[in-house]
Structure 1
Amino acid sequence: MNKKALQLPVQTITLVVGFMVWVILSGLISYIKTDIELTGNQLTLVTAVPVILGSILRVPIGYWTNRYGARKVSLISFIVLLFPIFYISYADSLFDLLFGGLFIGISGAIFSAGVTALPKYFPKERHGFVNGVYGMGNIGTAITTFSVPVLANMFGWRTSVQLFAILILGVLILNFFLGDKKEPKVLTPLTEQIKLVYKNTKLWFLSLFYFLTFGCFVAFTVYLPNFLVSNFGLDTVDAGVRTAGFIALATFLRPVGGCLGDKFNSFKILMVVFTGLTLSGIVLAFNPSLMLYTVGCLSIAICAGIGNGTIFKLVPLYFSKEAGIVNGIVSAMGGLGGFFPPIILSILYNVTGHYAIGYMALSQVALASLIIVVGMYYSEKINKMNEYKRNQSNKKVI
C-alpha cells in the first residue's frame, strides 16, 4: 500500500498514544497522593503542569513538521518522552512530579504534527473530516483515565507509569517503518510565517474559539477524576469511568464537527456550539446534584467535541501556506485553555467555598465567542455580497 494512504491511521495512532501519556498524572493522582503528601492546590498543579509544555511546544512542532516532516518530529518526540516516563515512576516529591510532568507535556504537543501534515494528502473539501478523524486520537485520554486506576490496583502506580514505555516504543517502530519520508516540505522561515499571520484577526478569533472548546476538553479531563472523588465521594474507578465517558463523547463527536464543517456553514455550527457552552456553564455554576452535574458535563462534551472538529476545518481554509505555524498557535491556545481553568477553580474554591464564579466565567467566555462568531458570519456575508456586486459591475463595463 502507498505510504501516503497510511498517514492518517499512522498519525492517528501516534496521537492516541501521545494523549494516553499526556494524562498519566491526572489519571493516577488519587494513588500518587497516598505516597507523596500534597495539598489540594498542589494536586491541581501537578495534574495541570503537563499542559504547559504540551501547549507551548505546539507552535514549534507545527513549524518543524512543515520543515522536516511528521515522521522525524514524532520519532524525536517519543524518544525524548522515555525520560519523563521513568523519572516520574521514581518520583518522591512535589518537585519530581512537576519536573517530570512538565516534560510529559511533549506528548500533548505532538498533536501539531498530524494536524499540520495530514491536510497535505487530501483535498480541501475533505480537510474537516480528515482533521476530525485525526482528532479522535483524543480518545487516548479516555483510555488512560479508564485503565490506569485498574492497573494501579493491580501493579501499583509506579509500575503502571513504566508500562507506558512499551506503548512509546510501539509508536517509534510504527513511525520508523510507515512514516512518510517524502512528505512535502514548507521551507518558509518561522519569523516570516509569523509576520504573515499575526495581524490577521481570524487567527486570534480561531485561537479564542479553540482556547474555549479544546480548553474545556482538557480542563475537564485533568480535573474530573480528582473532583468527582473529593466533591461527590465516588471511588477512583467510578470517577475514572465517568471521566472516560466524557472524553469518549467529546472525541467521537469531533469528526462529526469536521463533517458538519465540510457540508454546512462553519459559523452557524459554532453559533450552536457556543450557545450550548454558555448554557452548560450556567447549569454547573449553581453547584448542582451529581445528576445535573453529569448533564452539564455531557453537554459540554458534545459542544466541545463538535466545536473542536469545526474549528480545524477553518484553519486550512484561511491559512493554506502558513498552516503549520497557524495550527501550532491555535492548538497551543487550546492547550493553554486547559491549563488555567483547573487552577483558577481550585483557588476560587479555597477563597469562596464553591466553584460558581469559575463556571460562570466559562459561560461568559462562551457568550463572548458567540457574539464574535455572529459578527464573523455577517461580515463574510457582506464581503460575498460586495464581491458579487463588483463582479456584476465588471460584466456590465465589459
Structure 2
Amino acid sequence: MDRKSFLKSGHMPSLISGFLYFDVSFMIWNLLGPLAVIIMNDYPMDAAQKANLVALPVLGGSVLRLVLGYLTDRFGPKRTGMIGMALTFIPLVWGWLAVSSLSQLYIVALMLGIAGASFAAALPLASRWYPPEYQGLAMGIAGAGNSGTVFATLFANRIAQHFGSWHVVFGIAIIPLLIVFLIFAFTAKDGPTQVAPRRLADYGRVLKQRDTWLFCLFYSVTFGGFVGMSNYLTIFFNTQYGLDPVRAADFTTLCVIAGSFFRPVGGWLADKLGGLRMLMLLYGVVAIMMACVSTLPPLALITVLLFIGMMGLGMGNGSVFQLVPLRFKHEVGIITGIVGAAGGLGGYILPKILGNLKQSVGSYTPGFLILSGIALLCIIVIFAFQGSWKRSWIGSGGKARGADAAVGS
C-alpha cells in the first residue's frame, strides 16, 4: 500500500474522529459485560438472567442502528454521530445516580444500545472520504474502535472494586464521552460523496435483495460473535473456572484485544487477497476454535483458543465491510444500518445461547458447538454464491468495480 497516497486520498481528522467515536461508544456499550459478575452481588441472577443483562445493550444497539443508518443518510454522519453521543449521556447518568432495582438496570442496559448504534454513523463518516481501493483499510481503521471494549474489560471491575460501587463506573465513563464529543464536533467533516436522503421505502428495496440477507448472516457471525463473546466471556470465566471479577475480566481482555486490534488487518488483507477468500479462511478458523473450546479444556489452553477465535472474528469484520461498499455503492448508509443491526442481533443471540443452554443442561459445550456449526454454514454459503457475485460486480465491457479484489481473483 502507498502510505502517502492513502493519507492524501481522504480526510484523516474525520477518520480519527470516527475511530474515537466508535471507540468510546464501544467502551460504554460493553460496560455491563465485565460488571455483571459484580452487579450480581446486589441483584442475584441465574445463568439466563446474567445472559439477558449483557445481551440487552446489544439488542438495543441492533434496533437503533437502523434508526441511525436512516439519519446518517438524511442528515449526514457528523450530525447523526453528535446526536448519538448526546443521547448516550442519559443511560450513563441514570446508571450512576438513579438505578435501584434489576428491572431499572434492564432499562439502562437497553438504552446503552444508543452507544452501540454509533456504528451506523462512524463507518459512513470514514467510508465517504475514501476511494474503493482504500475502503477496506479505512473501514478497518474506523472499525478498530471496537477496541473500546478493552477499556471496559480492563478497567470497569477495577474501578468498581476501588470505589466499592459499580455505579461509579457509569459516572466516570461520562468523562471520555464528553472529551470525544468535543473532538468530534470540531474536527469531523461529512465526506464529499454524501448520498441523497433516502426514504423508508428504499430500505424495503434493499431488504428485498438476497445479498443483503447474506451479508447480514456473515456480519451476525463476525461482529455479533465478537460483541457477544466480549460481553459474555467475563461471566464464562467466572462461572466455569471460578475466577474473581477482576481476573475474569483480565482474561476476557486478552481475548478482546485479539478481535479489536486485528480488525484493520482483516480489512487490509481483504483489499489484497479478496474479501470472500478471507472470510472463508476466517470462518474456518473460528469453527475449529469454537469446536475445541466446547471441550472446556484447562484455563490456559481455552484462553489461547478463544484468543485465536476472537482474532478471526475481528479480522472477519474488516473483510465483510470491504465488500459492502463494492456491492452497495449508493446505499452504504442504509446497508450499514441493516447489516450492523444484524450484527447486533448476532451479539444478542450468542449470550442467550450460551447462558440459556448452561441454565438448562448445566454445560457450555452445546452452545459452543452450535457457534461452530454456524461458522461452517457461512463457509458453505460463500462457496455457493461467490461465482454469481463475481459476475454481478463486473461492469459492462469487463471493467471491474472492485469485484476482482473482492473475490480474490
TM-score by length of 2: 0.90
Aligned equivalent of 2:133, options 125, 134, 152: 125
User: What CA deviation, in whole Å up to 9, does each residue of 1:99-136 have, x standing for no partner?
Assistant: 11111110011111011221111111000000001111
User: Which residue number in structure 2 is paired with residue 98 of structure 1?
Assistant: 106
**2:121 & 2:246 partners in 1: Cα distance?**
33
**1:300 & 1:111 partners in 2: Cα distance?**
22
**1:191 & 1:109 partners in 2: Cα distance?**
18
User: Which residue number in structure 1 is paired with residue 161 of structure 2?
Assistant: 153
1:300 is paired with a residue of what secondary structure? helix
User: Which residue number in structure 1 is paired with residue 143 of structure 2?
Assistant: 135
Gaps of 5+ in 2: 1-6, 399-409
Aligned equivalent of 1:67, options 60, 69, 74: 74
Paired amino acid for 1:191: L
Aligned equivalent of 1:56, options 63, 76, 79: 63
Q: Which deviates further from its counterpart, 307-316 or 294-303?
A: 294-303
Matches within 5 A, 1:196-207: 196-207=205-216
Alignment coverage as a number of residue pairs: 389
User: Which residue number in structure 2 is paired with residue 110 of structure 1?
Assistant: 118
* Native 8 Å contact 1:114 1:134 kept in 2: yes
User: Which residue number in structure 1 is paired with residue 384 of structure 2?
Assistant: 375
Taking a change above 3 Å as real, the CA distance of residues 320 and 383 of structure 1, as seen in their structure-2 partners, is closer
Deviation, structure 1 residue 269: 1.0
**1:322 & 1:386 partners in 2: Cα distance?**
18
User: What CA deviation, in whole Å up to 9, does each residue of 1:321-342 have, x standing for no partner?
Assistant: 1111101111111111011121
**1:61 & 1:82 partners in 2: Cα distance?**
17
Please tell me whether residue 268 in structure 1 is matched to residue 283 in structure 2.
no
Deviation, structure 1 residue 60: 1.9
* Native 8 Å contact 1:267 1:376 kept in 2: no
Matches within 5 A, 1:244-263: 244-263=253-272
1:57 is paired with a residue of what secondary structure? helix
Aligned equivalent of 1:12, options 19, 38, 43: 19
Aligned equivalent of 2:184, options 150, 158, 175: 175
**1:334 & 1:354 partners in 2: Cα distance?**
25
Deviation, structure 1 residue 183: 5.9
Deviation, structure 1 residue 40: 2.9
Taking a change above 3 Å as real, the CA distance of residues 178 and 369 of structure 1, as seen in their structure-2 partners, is same
* Native 8 Å contact 2:285 2:312 kept in 1: yes
* Native 8 Å contact 1:213 1:334 kept in 2: yes
Q: Which deviates further from its counterpart, 358-367 or 289-298?
A: 289-298
**2:291 & 2:357 partners in 1: Cα distance?**
16
Deviation, structure 1 residue 171: 2.0
**2:210 & 2:203 partners in 1: Cα distance?**
13
**1:387 & 1:189 partners in 2: Cα distance?**
27
User: Which residue number in structure 1 is paired with residue 42 of structure 2?
Assistant: 35
Paired amino acid for 1:320: K
Taking a change above 3 Å as real, the CA distance of residues 276 and 7 of structure 1, as seen in their structure-2 partners, is same
1:37 is paired with a residue of what secondary structure? coil
Paired amino acid for 2:105: L
User: Which residue number in structure 1 is paired with residue 311 of structure 2?
Assistant: 302
* Native 8 Å contact 1:136 1:255 kept in 2: yes
Matches within 5 A, 1:208-227: 208-227=217-236
Deviation, structure 1 residue 4: 3.6
User: Which residue number in structure 1 is paired with residue 86 of structure 2?
Assistant: 79
Paired amino acid for 1:117: L
Q: Give the greater-gyration-radius structure (CA).
A: 1
Taking a change above 3 Å as real, the CA distance of residues 385 and 130 of structure 1, as seen in their structure-2 partners, is closer
* Native 8 Å contact 1:216 1:300 kept in 2: no
Measured on the aligned residues, the alpha-carbon RMSD in Å equals 2.2
Deviation, structure 1 residue 289: 2.2
Q: Which deviates further from its counterpart, 193-202 or 4-13?
A: 193-202
* Native 8 Å contact 2:129 2:193 kept in 1: no
Taking a change above 3 Å as real, the CA distance of residues 265 and 229 of structure 1, as seen in their structure-2 partners, is same
Taking a change above 3 Å as real, the CA distance of residues 316 and 350 of structure 1, as seen in their structure-2 partners, is same
* Native 8 Å contact 1:55 1:336 kept in 2: yes
* Native 8 Å contact 1:58 1:329 kept in 2: yes
User: Which residue number in structure 2 is paired with residue 395 of structure 1?
Assistant: none
Gaps of 5+ in 1: 390-398
Matches within 5 A, 1:274-285: 274-285=283-294
Q: Which deviates further from its counterpart, 32-41 or 14-23?
A: 32-41
